[in-house]
Amino acid sequence: MTGKIAFIGLGAMGQPMAANILRKEIVLTVHDIDRERMAPLHNLGAVFADTVAEAAAGAEIVVTMLPATAEVEEVVLHAGGVLDTLASGSVLMDMSTIAPLGTDKVAAACAAQGVAFIDAPVGRLASHAIAGESLFMIGCDDEAAFERVKPLVEAMGTTIHRCGGVGAGIRTKVVNNFLILSLTQVNAEALTLAAKLGLDIGVLKEVNAGTTGTNGQLHVNFATKVLKGDVEPGFKIDLAHKDMGLALEAADAIRLGLPVGAAVHAVYGAARAGDYADKDFSALLDYACELAGIDKVRL
């Protein structure tokens, strides 16, 4: 690829995704408010930018991977942000998980300046981002713009879903995360119940895997994280609480009640009030065991 490409936001997902782009010998200018997050990309040939404006200046494509709606709006819309420096005809691809109405706001601002916008939120875990096996949910109205970013997406992941026009990607992500995060709490309760009943957790998992109750959260995330005693974050409970809130916010905007979602959101809220905020979201199992007064469930 020719032309300047900027990547802004190098957190648990963004940093390895940027690294995978660099490994494809695509030159990136990178920026993060925490300069230490840029350092590991030095040996891969990344160009460091001290500010958002410096990163975006002269760029043909800007990729953002940020924590929440407020950060995306600050980086893109505020003075000194991406749209202050990005030229007409360039492309902004936002991979952040934010409020759908926030995506709509950014997309409208881009359109007003002649900048093509693509929402491309990411599925799967941090371990997949590291391996270059992420899944993307693409919302895009401009096929030429998608073809321009496609090599970057293919460098970061293995699966691309075209979800519809601009805004469809983030809406798909919000609904999918609603399912994932709800299942995490269901799994936590089920395993706590099984432990209290004196069941063999390994046998329970085998039974579950052969029924329609099977789910990836139990057999992939739980199996590789909390059930092995690893609760260091691939995805923090604090962020899970935020993402469940996005689903409730989106539902509220269309007058839709999500009673189960509201209950699950409350559990994440309670868990993040203490020591669990920065733990992996599979640690809801440990939180459930703590509330039940039993030992942590492990395999």
Please pick, among 24, 105, 150, 173, the residue that the annotation labels catalytic.
Answer: 173
- Amino acid identity of residue 41, one-letter, is L
Render 214-266 in DSSP notation, one character per residue.
--HIIIIIIHHTGGGT--S-SSBHHHHHHHHHHHHHHHHHTT---HHHHHHHH
Active site residue 173: yes
- Amino acid identity of residue 138, one-letter, is I
Q: Tokens 């957190």 belong to which residue?
A: 11
Query: How far is residue 12 from each of residues 19, 27, 254, measured CA to CA in Å?
Result: 12, 21, 32
Could you tell me if 148 and 91 are in contact, meaning their C-beta atoms sit under 8 angstroms apart? yes
Beta strands, E only, the chain: 4-8, 29-31, 47-48, 59-64, 91-94, 116-119, 122-123, 134-139, 157-164
Q: Which residues are catalytic?
A: 173
